[in-house]
Amino acid sequence: MVKLKKLFTSMALVFALVAVTLGGLATVEALLVTNITPIQGPITGGQKIKIDGEFELPSPINVAQISAGVQHTCALDFDGQAYCWGVNWSGQLGNDSYDDSPVPAAVDTTGVLDGKTLVQISVGNYHTCALDSTGQAYCWGVNWSGQLGNDSYDDSPVPVTIDTSDVLDGKTLTQISAGEYHTCALDSDGQVYCWGRNWEGQLGNNSTGASSVPIAVDTTGVLDGKTLTQVSAGRDYTCVLDSDGQAYCWGNVLYGGELVSRVPYAVDTSGVLDGKTLTQIATGHDHACVLDSDGLAYCWGSNDSGQLGDNTGAGSLVPVAVDTSGVLNGKTLAQISAGTSHTCAIDSNGQTYCWGSNDSGQFGNGFFASEYNPAPVDTSSGLGGKTLIQISAGNYHACALDSDNQAYCWGRGDYGQLGISSYSSATFINAVHGSLDGTGSALPGGGTVKYTVTFDPSGSPVPCTNVKVAADGKSLTCIISAHSAGLVDIAISSGASTQILAGAYEYTNSTLSPNPNPNTNSGSTPTITAPNTGLNITKIGGLLITGLLTVSIAVVLVRRLFKMR
């Protein structure tokens, strides 16, 4: 009985030691910081420091499509929900309000959009239209010319259903495009329908009378027997592509009356388009652009700001080739978008270029100089190394999506059309704000995990300013403030936790080059402390030693138990 009691006592001791060891190891958290570069600098500060480690990033804002208009912008998420931001005096944001919004607002779904999944969205001047997964169309906003297509001329701050009692009866729409004061849509049979203003024949039905319901575009001429694949509505004109890669337009593409047609006509192919197969068409205010199967761009129409990109500034009634002698040399363009007086395109590598008017910073390159040939958009800061996959040129701003489906806007922002929580313009790329940013945005995701970095936190604390986390979350950088000479600790805080790096940086009285060995600092190695635990490398080593001792003791106890038997 005594031996049995000793057996149980010994076993309990073994389990207790193991539990203590495992418990100690379980409290060890992954180190937040792995390296600091440089680790010494002048007392005057001003030096940039890089801290490597694992840092939290904002939750992704997954946008499926974005469309920029005159003074508002809209987007779709992958759940088929629509969001709009910017000016809202005619209800073009669709949120049952007439208040402007500098952040994304959810389009109302209590009415005709209840239970609907939207698959495409298009922004016009002051109205917005969308298609759902069943091929039904909806519009909202200004309706002076009947551009909402609901057999009415009343504005609507919420989506209304496009009339389907006549030409759209039984039709499934596959694409929609909102112009200045008219709208056009393409059905699954390759036929086009338009509605709204028709002063210049932009509805393509051989008349100039407006229509508040969809009407069929004339197909007795050049469109006879053609299957259309794309439609794009401009200011006072409309253009399409057919299945053979040929372009057709109607209305007034070059504002001023030089080229007006109330029925479709074939875009000239006797010049630069000879033998070309077109793959995309985009319409702006008074100019249009296309891409061919080789990834080359061509434009025609007004060119007073250089929006044709041919380095001339002269308007053209026929397509001209966009200049490829500069930044587009050897590039294959994958998408093009025409704005009011500027044009933007993305190449196959995700690099973006713009040309034309830049008076509001719509090139995103930090300048206001317009260009008559393509200029690169600066993606070095705002994108953090990501590439763009979609772009939309608006009136005096542009918006885009990156490879992670994050939305960005830049250019004029006086009505909140950039979606960055302000009514300010931006000459560089800025991320559209999401619901986690604390700005009132309805667009899911976002949230800036704000880190603060403090030098000498327990002595004479000074901040490390302009803290930025890298796009991959593997490092952050900040600018060091002035401090007296000597070794100091660094505190990194995310709000939820704080990590102390003991003796991690040395202020010196002289200007020094970065230490060639970033892991040494005047013979002293900084102690890296895990967040909220106080555990450092030494403690972890102690726990490991404790573990080895525990195992040894356990072996001895077990051997004794067997001898007892």
**Three-state helix/strand/coil letters over 302-324:** CCCCCCCCCCCCCCEEEEEECCC
Contact 140, 85 (CB under 8 A): no
Query: Which carries the bigger pLDDT value, residue 444 or residue 1?
Result: 444
Label residue 369 by pLDDT band (50, 70, 90): very high
Query: Which carries the bigger pLDDT value, residue 358 or residue 378?
Result: 358
User: Residue 37's beta-bridge partner residues?
Assistant: 50
DSSP string, 123-158: E-SSEEEEEETTS-EEEEE--TTSTT-SS----EEE
Query: Which carries the bigger pLDDT value, residue 178 or residue 19?
Result: 178
Tokens 């573990």 -> residue: 547
Distance CA 245, CA 102 (A): 39
Share of the chain above pLDDT 90, in %: 72
Tokens 């930090």 -> residue: 366
Label residue 522 by pLDDT band (50, 70, 90): very low
Mean pLDDT of 402-424: 95
Count of H-run helices and E-run strands, the chain: 2, 37
Distance CA 486, CA 41 (A): 10
pLDDT at 524: 38
318: CB partners within 8 A, 6+ apart:
267, 268, 270, 271, 300
Mean pLDDT of 469-488: 90
Label residue 448 by pLDDT band (50, 70, 90): low
Label residue 255 by pLDDT band (50, 70, 90): low
CATH T-level topology, domain 29-57+449-534: Immunoglobulin-like (2.60.40)
Listed residue (302, 303, 307, 385) closest to 350, CA to CA: 385
pLDDT at 271: 98
> For residue range 71-113, what is the model confidence (pLDDT) as tens digits?
999 999 999 999 999 999 999 999 999 999 999 999 999 999 9
Label residue 439 by pLDDT band (50, 70, 90): confident
> For residue range 147-177, what is the model confidence (pLDDT) as tens digits?
999 999 999 999 999 999 999 999 999 999 9
Q: How many CA atoms lie within 13 A of 323 on its CB side?
A: 21
DSSP single-letter state for residue 115: T
539: CB partners within 8 A, 6+ apart:
none
pLDDT at 438: 80
- Six-digit token pair at 481? 């403030």
With 60 as the cut, is the pLDDT of residue 29 above it?
no
C-alpha torsion 438→440→445→451, nearest 10? -20
Q: What is the rounded average pLDDT for all residues in the chain?
A: 86
Name which of 79-88, 191-200, 308-317, 488-497 the model is least confident about: 488-497
DSSP single-letter state for residue 246: -
With 90 as the cut, is the pLDDT of residue 393 above it?
yes
With 50 as the cut, is the pLDDT of residue 554 above it?
no
